[in-house]
């Protein structure tokens, strides 16, 4: 199994290099710089667990959205032991670094997380709930929100309950905005059918503006109670709260842009949530502060081009 895991890990590394090469020289250098800056800025004491959590989030997303169950089952490799070995091999430089720097929290987050995620070796099928809430007041062209809220309205309710119960803790308000931001950005992960886009009868630019407007409006609607309560209860944290809100709004616009920049009918954006997670915490890491704005500018243009391509194909 070690031989098989090593071999498949090498194939994954080769594929990744091909994907990076396909980005072109400028984008590849930009990506490399981002990774190096991100890596260096999270090398400071106390930041390594955050780095470990970020790496783990990439692995978790790749693992839960993988489609190679049948391929690996046909090779008798769809087993937790295989995933533990392959993920350990891929993340071994980081695991060794954490041991060398004696940051056992970071080591345990990454190593423990890998073992836990490896236990899920069947396709993830979320149970269909019998109890459904519909949201007819949400505009019909915000279909991601109608479908998304139907599935995870309980996360929002739970977050509000936690906020009300522990309203004395300021950091929970900022944390809840980040949770809402992740949830709302997650709605944009899956690509709708082309006929739905065409049905609106808008050109690429108008469509993009409409989708970003809806995303920002609906995001503000769900965070408004937490935002206003925080400003009243904890006025000393208004500046920080403002930073979190602004950053989250940029992230929401980016989530729409990245979706349509790589739009392919019926597909989903690979690694979207990992990028969104990184951007969501950008306000806490100085070197990453301008990143959401920068990424938004790049992907907005690409989204417009991609939509033009698919709409007029």
Partner 1 sequence: MLKLEDLCFGYEKAVVINHLKWALEPGKVHGLVGMNGAGKTTLFNILSGMLVPQSGSVHFCDQPLNPDKCAMMETTPFFYPMISGKEYLEIFRLKNPDFNIVAWNSVFHLPLRELVDNYSTGMQKRLALMGLIASGRALLILDEPFNGLDFEAVRIVQQIIPALAAKGKTILLSSHIPESLTSVCHTISTIKEGKIDFTLQKNEFGRLSELLDSENKIPDDILQNLN
Closest C-alpha among 127, 128, 92 to residue 110? 92
Query: Which window, 8-16, 28-36, 236-244, 283-291, contacts partner 1 (CB under 8 A)?
Result: 8-16
- Rounded least distance, CB 211 to partner 1, Å: 26
Least distance between partner 1 and beta carbon 22 (Å): 8
Binding flag, residue 74, partner 1 (CB under 8 A): yes
Of 137, 266, 144, 136, which Cα lies nearest the Cα of 211?
144
- Tell me which of 22, 25, 119, 124 binds partner 1, using CB under 8 A: 22
Helical (H) or strand (E) element with 38: helix 25-41
Cα-based distances in Å from 309 to 155, 305, 313: 36, 6, 6
Instruction: Output b/e per residue, 53-69; b: 16+ Cβ within 10 A.
Output: bbbbbbbbbbbeeeeee
Q: What does the angle CA 128 – CA 134 – CA 136 come to, to the nearest 5 degrees?
A: 155
Distance separating alpha carbons of residues 63 and 66, to the nearest angstrom: 5
CB of 68 to partner 1, least distance (A): 6
Q: Which of 23, 36, 71, 164 binds partner 1 (CB under 8 A)?
A: 71
**Of 25, 67, 124, 239, which one interacts with partner 1 (CB under 8 A)?**
67
Burial of residue 2 (CB within 10 Å: 0-12, 13-18, 19+) is exposed
Joined together, the tokens standing for residue 286 give 């100085």
Binding-site member from 31, 46, 68, 203 for partner 1 (CB under 8 A): 68
In the complex, least distance from residue 19 CB atom to partner 1, rounded to whole angstroms: 6
Measure Cα distances from 218 to 161, 187, 240, 277 in Å: 20, 12, 22, 19
Q: Does 75 bind partner 1 (CB under 8 A)?
A: yes
What's the closest the beta carbon of residue 75 comes to partner 1, in angstroms?
A: 6
User: Count of H helices and E strands in the chain?
Assistant: 13, 0
Task: Name the minimum Å distance from CB 74 to partner 1.
Answer: 4
Helix (H, G, I), strand (E, B) or coil at 190: strand
Residue choice 70, 105, 165, 265 for contact with partner 1 (CB under 8 A): 70
Out of 8, 85, 111, 303, point to the residue binding partner 1 (CB under 8 A): 8
Which C-beta is closer to partner 1: that of 122 or that of 168?
122
Q: Does 4 bind partner 1 (CB under 8 A)?
A: yes
Start-to-end Cα distance in the chain: 46
- Please give the residues from 127 up to 156 whose contact with partner 1 meets the rule CB under 8 A: 127-128
Under the binding rule (CB under 8 A), the answer on residue 15 touching partner 1 is yes
The stretch near partner 1 (CB under 8 A) out of 63-71, 104-112, 140-148, 254-262 is: 63-71
- Work out how close the CB of 10 gets to partner 1 at its nearest, in angstroms, rounded to a whole number: 9
- Helix runs in 234-290, H state only: 238-261, 272-280
Considering the complex, what minimum distance in angstroms separates the CB of residue 206 from partner 1?
32
Q: Which is nearer to partner 1, 76 or 238 (CB)?
A: 76
Whose Cβ is closer to partner 1: residue 75's or residue 209's? 75
Q: Which residues contact partner 1 (rule: CB under 8 A)? A: 3-4, 7-8, 11-12, 14-15, 18-19, 22, 67-71, 73-76, 78, 122-123, 127-128
């Amino acid at each position: 199994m070690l031989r098989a895991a090593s071999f498949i890990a090498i194939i994954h590394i080769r594929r990744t290099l091909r994907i990076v090469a396909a980005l072109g020289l400028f984008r590849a250098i930009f990506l490399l710089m981002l990774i190096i800056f991100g890596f260096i800025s999270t090398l400071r004491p106390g930041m390594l667990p955050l780095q470990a959590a970020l790496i783990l989030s990439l692995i978790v997303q790749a693992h839960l959205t993988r489609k190679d169950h049948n391929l690996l089952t046909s090779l008798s490799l769809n087993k937790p032991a295989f995933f533990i070995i392959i993920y350990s091999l891929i993340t071994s430089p980081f695991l060794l670094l954490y041991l060398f720097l004696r940051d056992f929290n970071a080591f345990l987050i990454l190593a423990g997380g890998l073992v836990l995620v490896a236990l899920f070796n069947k396709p993830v099928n979320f149970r269909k709930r019998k109890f459904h809430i519909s949201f007819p007041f949400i505009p019909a062209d915000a279909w991601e929100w109608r479908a998304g809220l139907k599935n995870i309205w309980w996360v929002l309710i739970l977050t509000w309950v936690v906020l009300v119960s522990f309203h004395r803790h300021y950091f929970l308000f900022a944390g809840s905005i980040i949770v809402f931001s992740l949830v709302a950005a997650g709605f944009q992960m899956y690509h709708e059918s082309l006929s739905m886009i065409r049905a609106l009868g808008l050109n690429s630019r108008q469509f993009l503006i409409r989708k970003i407007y809806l995303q920002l409006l609906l995001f503000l609607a769900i965070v408004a109670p937490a935002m206003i309560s925080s400003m009243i209860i904890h006025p000393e944290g208004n500046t920080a709260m403002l930073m979190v809100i602004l950053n989250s709004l940029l992230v929401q616009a980016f989530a729409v842009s990245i979706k349509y920049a790589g739009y392919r009918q019926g597909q989903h954006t690979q690694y979207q949530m990992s990028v969104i997670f990184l951007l969501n915490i950008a306000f806490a890491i100085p070197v990453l502060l301008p990143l959401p704005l920068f990424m938004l500018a790049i992907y907005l243009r690409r989204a417009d081009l991609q939509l033009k391509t698919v709409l007029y194909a």
